[in-house]
Structure 1
């Protein structure tokens, strides 16, 4: 089975003005998701490669200096049905010859028999959402960026669809407050 073409994701920017007078923003660009057939060839694993870029900027002239800042790029993966607890299959049986003694012909109830029984269970758990970090960088000035090309992503033990979305966080710290802004890409299927 051939891999699909990467699916582009629309750019997104989120920003906020802090109480200290700074303008903080996070911009996600160059996002693409390339779903591929998983190496294990199992129905319960999804695999793909992702590309994306985040740029965090600190603008304005705040009243209190910025002590530190951080930019984070990551993914959120949503599993529809969690199968990670696994399941069990129980099979048993008995074979033999049954002697029969009815009031009629004793040979009517003699013969081979097979008694087979099977049972099993699958532990279905509610779906879940997991965050995966693709990069984290300290802001040394007013701008910082992280670029990821063809990062591998996989989800194991999941029944049903797997949703995927990029996220970015920009954070700053002053002596007065901590502020953050978060940007999220569109939700797609892995």
Structure 2
């Protein structure tokens, strides 16, 4: 009876040892996300925008005169673009400028036909001015000093007298700078007869020398109304551009 029980127990252990082991299926690989369709390739990144020189116009200037006139001066389509100067000096600046400048004169009912002058130009502000100073200067001096000294064997008492000469040399560099100045560049003075004078400036080159540091540029227009009894002057100044 005990021998049969042992044999049955051995077969049960063998069945357990030879039972197949279940292997889990491999996990599915992660889905590959497609690249964004609207992203440009690295070699097709658009270049940075180029300054085309366009400048916003300042608000129009209007005045009403004591004798009933209404004067207005304004501008539109302004362009101010820095360009390479003819010289290689960093103190030389050159700009290409343009725009349309308009005047308007509305007289009272009994007034005669308007007449006057419309002046258009540009103002250049320079941070440091070298044009009216001495600029860079070099200073120096050379001298000659003479004297007498004792001579003799080293470590012994002097036995003679010998002349001694020395040539001192000194030098320096001076830079003369002046505070910034504003240069006014008139372009045109238009005498007119009529209520709506205007001036158009296109590709006008402005040059300044002896300017160090930052520079600034803006347009101006001055409208003058003239009668036999009076003159009225109205000024317009454009938006300042750092160039």
TM-score range normalised by the length of the shorter chain: 0.7 to 0.9
Preserved CA contact (<8 Å) 2:114 2:195: no
User: Which residue number corresponds to residue 120 of structure 1?
Assistant: 173
Secondary structure class of the residue paired with 1:118: strand
Which is worse superposed, 167-176 or 60-69? Answer: 60-69
Q: Does 1:16 align with 2:69?
A: no
**1:180 Cα deviation (Å)?**
1.6
Which is worse superposed, 133-142 or 120-129? Answer: 120-129
Secondary structure class of the residue paired with 1:43: coil
| Higher RCO by CA contacts (8 Å cutoff, separation 6 or greater) | 1
Secondary structure class of the residue paired with 1:58: strand
Cα–Cα, structure 1 residues 174 and 116, in superposed 2: closer, same or farther, change >3 Å?
same
User: Which residue number corresponds to residue 109 of structure 1?
Assistant: none
**1:175 Cα deviation (Å)?**
3.2
Instruction: Report Cα offsets for 1:123-171 as digits up to 9, x if no partner.
Output: 2112111211111111211111111111011110111111111011111
Larger radius of gyration: 2
Q: TM-score with structure 2 length normalisation?
A: 0.64
Distance 2:94 2:153 in 1: 66
| 1:1-190 to 2 correspondences below 5 Å | 5-12=51-58, 13-61=60-108, 63-65=110-112, 68-84=115-131, 85-87=133-135, 88-91=137-140, 117-190=170-243
Unaligned runs of 5+ in 2: 1-49, 144-148, 155-165
**1:36 Cα deviation (Å)?**
1.5
Q: Between Structure 1 and Structure 2, which shows a larger proportion of helix residues? A: 2
Secondary structure class of the residue paired with 1:61: coil
Q: Between Structure 1 and Structure 2, which shows a larger proportion of strand residues? A: 1
Unaligned runs of 5+ in 1: 95-99, 106-112
Preserved CA contact (<8 Å) 1:16 1:25: yes
Preserved CA contact (<8 Å) 1:71 1:171: yes
Instruction: Report Cα offsets for 1:10-43 as digits up to 9, x if no partner.
Output: 1231111111111111111111111012221111
**1:65 Cα deviation (Å)?**
3.3
User: Which residue number corresponds to residue 110 of structure 1?
Assistant: none
CA RMSD of aligned residues (A): 2.7
Q: Number of residue pairs matched? A: 178
Preserved CA contact (<8 Å) 2:114 2:194: no
